Structure 1
Amino acid sequence: MLPILPPADLQSDLDAARDAERTGGPEAAMVLYRRVLERDADKGGAGMAVAHDALARLLVGQDMAEAAGHALASWRLTPADQTRRSNLWQLLTHLGKADDVGRFQGRDDCVGLVALGNALRRDGQGLRAERAYRRALELYPEVSFTLSRLACLCAEQHRLEEADALFLQAAERHGGRDAVTRTAPAFLASLRDGPPPAGIRATLAEGAGSADRPLVVYASCDAVYARKFLPTMVRSIVEDSGLDCAIALHLINPDAEAEATVASLAAAHGAGRFMVLRETIDLAPLGDNAKTYYACSRFLVLPDLLSRWRRPVLMLDVDLMAIRDLNPLLAASAHSDLGMMSHALKRLDIWSLLYADVLHIRPTMGALRFLDLTRRYIRHFLDRGLPVWFLDQAALAAVHLAGFTTEAAPRLTVYPADIHSSTVMVDGEGRYWTDDSAYFYSVRATGGGQQAMHRLKRRAGTTADVKPG
């Protein structure tokens, strides 16, 4: 039952709504924010922008389309606000499920048309989806985010030059991920024909026994992630993966605590199997975008490492842990140049066409060609001051789609999305239960996870083994 709210002035309503948000009263907060919209409707003031923005946040879990409507209204009132622009971009990107076609059919507002286009795409109706997007662009040309939706549709249909032109238009209008997404084969060819890209400046210490292992498991991270995730990740590879492998750890700007973490891992699991790459770089100019460099740096050195080691490499995000024998997974891609994961339901975004969290790379010319072009792509945008999050996956998608249109493409094995466990259950002793079919558990890939990874000590079985009561 909603509270009966006494009359108040605009600022009092805003203050009360913010208090309700902070104390976990979303229903009361929504009532107050809607009252702000009624009070300020004729003024178009700052209160309306705040209220619309808040309602977008509060409604996103209940009705994404309604949330997008409020996000659009907030952005229209404050078009220079980067956070609100990003919120709107994300909502317009993700709303509209396949079974929502009927819900949005016949709507002629911007959110309704984009949602209809997304729903039609997810339902496999590409031509009708394109009509919906183009109608939205015709009626609401100022909402440039629709260009992204149409560009991704064209890329999906391998209309690569058309997609490229749309991404460029979107980049000029609102930047973001569209600014680092190119799909024209001519652009990829120009990167391939350009001067060799810069790698990284780093030192490499290789354990005496590392060369004897037939596989290298490679992970890269900064000092914070080293402390937070490396112990569990490495333990799982040594004890649970079934792999006979060397372990290569790429540390970006390691501090004393990160070095101590690596030293303890070497002592626990045998120093001879470890290879440690230490990179020191000033990332202060990147500010909050330093995380993009942490994700991309491994690709800047991967071709060199593959040439040096001449062995298969399994490159993993550091927040992954192996939860069972990985040999069957690697066997699936044993006859390809590369193996990596895709999520068909998220292909509305070109940035989610191929995931960068699990890459099985064989030491072939095809893999080297793919990785060299990926490095050139990433370096191109980093050198131009565009360290945009998801740059690494934009590069993988662009190289896959447009990098080899005039020559034989490297052979790719696509892993299904359920190689990741969607659930983990942990008891007080650190024993955990996961999906039977999965190979990995990832805190980030599963939306944050129920427990911190450091609590997971030993796999006890599958979630099907856990009996109620």
Structure 2
Amino acid sequence: MPQASDTTLQDALDAERAGNRETAGTLCLRLLEQAPTGPQAPAAHDALARLLVGQDMAAAAGHALAAWRLTPQDPTRRSNLWQLLTHLGEAGDVGRFQGREDCVGLVALGNALRRDGQALRAERAYRRALELYPEVSFTLSRLACLCAEQHRLEEADALFAQAAERHGGRDAVTRTDPAFLQALRAGPPAAGIRATIQEGAGAASRPLVVYACCDAVYARKFLPTMVRSIAEDSGLDCAIALHLVNPDAEAEATVAALAAAHGADRFIVLRETIDLSPLGDNAKTYYACSRFLVLPDLLVRWQRPVLMLDVDLLAIRDLNPLLATSARSDLGMMSHALKRLDIWSLLYADVLHIRPTTGALRFLDLTRRYIRHFLDRGLPVWFLDQAALAAVHLAGFTAEAAPRLTIYPADIHSSTVMVDGEGRYWTDDSAYFYSVRATGGGQHAVHRLKRRAGTTADVKPG
């Protein structure tokens, strides 16, 4: 016979699925009052964290912390707590969390102080949290990112190592010790990829290569809209290079249709076949990283600037003004570090403008070595590519002249999109790209967008 707590939890989950958030929350709280450490308590805390995250992230983190304490080996709860402690605490929240001595309150205060530019006080808050709650290793990540921001690179590296030993995850693939990067550079060359390449007859005459990499699923889902936007909306005179990892017949048909529609002579197609079964659910990390494993070789081969884009991006207007801002740098890429206060968002991997310079090759070669180091050690952790970019940028050139980097502002991405039933879409005109992932989910999947009709200012109410 089911226990009362089982029935209460099921009723709460049913209410949550039905959209009855208040009822679901009340039932979860009742269950926790009756059995705060019972077998259903972790799931009740999980539900409360989900219900609260959109309105009070600190309260959600409190429940995530409680669920993790009850089941500290659960990887999903560990990840949930890590994410919440990473993101909570805005600059305007300093007063709200000032004086709190609980773990969530101290981490939130540290994050808020960092966002408010009060780094010394932020460090005190993090260290106080570590002193009072040493078992909550996730605070080590917050302090490590703060140290990295201040270029206390060896100290940050040691903190990341401690965090990695305790809870793994992204901290396990994050290194900021210049000596580590120097050792990578001094080691044997990193392996690239094994792939075939098919280059259209007219591709070599184009002054720019737009390059995107994806698996068969993303090829079917995103390539048609992405390629159409480059060919018709970007204003670029470019070859289009598509790197397919383990393509299937449908992906090949998608590429063939694109070549027929936009001119086969301008297309370059790389086909990579690799057994990713050992990576399991982490295969997506390889799809994100494979482009960096071949990018130095492509830059040498093509000897032209390369614009590397995530495959779920759309160019929503002329990209030439954006590329002009980085035309005298080795690389151009976007940064929005303070959005998440973490090193993995220091440099975004979704838009890279790379010129065929010695500086760019030095940067990309070290990035490839970094990524390969962790892949070869069985650590295909999501965000490995951006951890590599950040580490190379921060610690890869401390003893020599660094490549010249242009930082694109975060608002190169459109924050809004409006779509009608025919797939016509409107975006804000100041941005250069729209991406479902980079803009936090958006209202529509990119593959639904068929044709840009104008800007949101053109859409009249009613």
Q: State whether TM-score is above 0.5.
A: yes
Q: Which residue of 2 aligns with 1:315?
A: 308
Alpha-carbon deviations, 1:175-201, whole Å to 9, x = none? 000000000000000000000001001
Q: Which residue of 2 aligns with 1:456?
A: 449
Q: Which residue of 1 aligns with 2:65?
A: 72
- SS at 1:265's partner residue? helix
Distance 2:88 2:244 in 1: 38
Offset of 1:100 from its aligned partner? 0.3
CA contact (8 A) 1:346 1:353 kept: no
1:417 partnered with 2:418: no
1:154 partnered with 2:147: yes
1:342 partnered with 2:327: no
Q: Which residue of 1 aligns with 2:241?
A: 248
- Tell me whether 426-435 or 373-382 shows the greater mean CA deviation: 426-435
CA contact (8 A) 1:154 1:162 kept: yes
- SS at 1:250's partner residue? strand
Offset of 1:451 from its aligned partner? 2.4
Distance 1:136 1:264 in 2: 57
- SS at 1:356's partner residue? coil
Cα RMSD, aligned residues only:
1.0
Distance 2:422 2:92 in 1: 43
- Tell me whether 25-34 or 45-54 shows the greater mean CA deviation: 45-54
Q: Which residue of 2 aligns with 1:31?
A: 26
The normalised TM-score by structure 1 is 0.97
Q: How many positions carry a matched residue from both structures?
A: 460
- SS at 1:386's partner residue? coil
- SS at 1:204's partner residue? strand
Alignment of 1:65-104 (within 5 A): 65-104=58-97
Q: Which amino acid aligns with 1:137?
A: L
Distance 1:139 1:168 in 2: 21
Alignment of 1:193-272 (within 5 A): 193-272=186-265
CA contact (8 A) 1:292 1:388 kept: yes
Q: Which residue of 2 aligns with 1:353?
A: 346
Which residue, 373, 383, 396 being the options, matches 2:389?
Answer: 396
CA contact (8 A) 1:17 1:33 kept: yes
Q: Which amino acid aligns with 1:131?
A: R
Distance 1:49 1:440 in 2: 41
- Tell me whether 94-103 or 445-454 shows the greater mean CA deviation: 445-454
CA contact (8 A) 1:420 1:438 kept: yes
- SS at 2:418's partner residue? strand
Alignment of 1:108-147 (within 5 A): 108-147=101-140
Alpha-carbon deviations, 1:145-182, whole Å to 9, x = none? 00000000000000000000000000000000000000
Alpha-carbon deviations, 1:349-408, whole Å to 9, x = none? 000000000000000000000000000000000000000000000000000000000000
Distance 1:402 1:386 in 2: 21
Offset of 1:347 from its aligned partner? 5.3
- For structure 2, the 5+ residue unaligned runs are none
Offset of 1:346 from its aligned partner? 2.0
- For structure 1, the 5+ residue unaligned runs are 1-7
- SS at 1:192's partner residue? helix
The normalised TM-score by structure 2 is 0.98
CA contact (8 A) 1:421 1:434 kept: yes
Q: Which residue of 1 aligns with 2:369?
A: 376
- Tell me whether 191-200 or 443-452 shows the greater mean CA deviation: 443-452
Once the two structures are aligned, what percentage of the paired residues are identical? 87
- Tell me whether 228-237 or 454-463 shows the greater mean CA deviation: 454-463
Alignment of 1:42-53 (within 5 A): 44-53=37-46
Distance 1:281 1:429 in 2: 38
Offset of 1:344 from its aligned partner? 4.1
1:16 partnered with 2:11: yes
Distance 1:187 1:122 in 2: 29
